[in-house]
Structure 1
Amino acid sequence: MKPGSVKIVDRVSAIEAIKRLNEDDLLFLNRLIVERLKLISQAKSTMLMGSFTVGDRVGFQAADGQGLEGIVLRLNKKTVSIVTDDGHQWNVAPGLLHLIATVGAKQRGR
């Protein structure tokens, strides 16, 4: 177990305890859980963001299922700005991207 983590020994006991909470306590618990999940998601996104550099060539799948490729323009707080080969700009979550070529590889290839 990681330092600082909490392990629920008996999930059944936790479920029973939750069943006994009143509405105010459940709303409070819900806010705590949502905040924690957002923090975990943000940490994952930040870690994934470190995989990319401005100028990298990346690929991703558009909402219609079409595979697109482009160049990383900017690393934003939650997304990566990409310009595709046809000149369109996209803001894509880093978890949806895959690296095709790094900026360093392009420079070495010249």
Structure 2
Amino acid sequence: MRIEDLTLDELHALNELICKRIDYLRLQNDINVLSQLRLGQKVHFKAKEGQVFGVVIKINKKSVMVVSDDNRQWKIPPGLVQIMKDI
């Protein structure tokens, strides 16, 4: 199948399938991260300002509250959070 051969209706249908798959994979990733997160856990994530390091202060179904090293609070999707590894 070549994408150039698809009609507009077929492209819309394909787009809907792709978007549903992306949503499903993001949800699975969020669930995986949420199952590993604990209050007080050290985490990091990328923001416009660069890499942010902080501690989890609240865990919701669709977001995580993190207080960064500079005492700013961030509300971010769980899929963006990376747990700090102990060395």
Check the 8 A contact 1:81/1:89 in 2, yes or no: yes
Work out the number of aligned pairs and report it: 85
Q: Does 1:69 align with 2:87?
A: no
Q: Which has the larger radius of gyration?
A: 1
- Paired residue for 1:104? none
Q: Does 1:56 align with 2:41?
A: yes
Q: Does 1:35 align with 2:15?
A: no
| Residues 1-110 of structure 1 mapped to structure 2, 5 A cutoff | 15-16=1-2, 18-65=3-50, 67-94=51-78, 95-99=80-84
Letter in 2 for 1:80: V
Percent of aligned positions with the same letter in both sequences? 31
**How many Å apart are 1:80 and its aligned residue?**
1.6
Aligned CA distance change for structure 1 residues 33 and 72 (closer, same or farther; 3 Å): same
**How many Å apart are 1:100 and its aligned residue?**
5.3
Check the 8 A contact 2:40/2:55 in 1, yes or no: yes
Secondary structure at the counterpart of residue 50 of structure 1: helix
Which runs of at least 4 in structure 1 moved beyond 6 Å after TM superposition? none
Structure of higher RCO (CA pairs closer than 8 Å, 6+ residues apart):
2
Question: Any stretches of 5+ residues in structure 2 without a counterpart?
Answer: none
**How many Å apart are 1:75 and its aligned residue?**
1.7
TM-score (norm: length of structure 2): 0.70
Q: State the superposition RMSD in angstroms.
A: 2.4
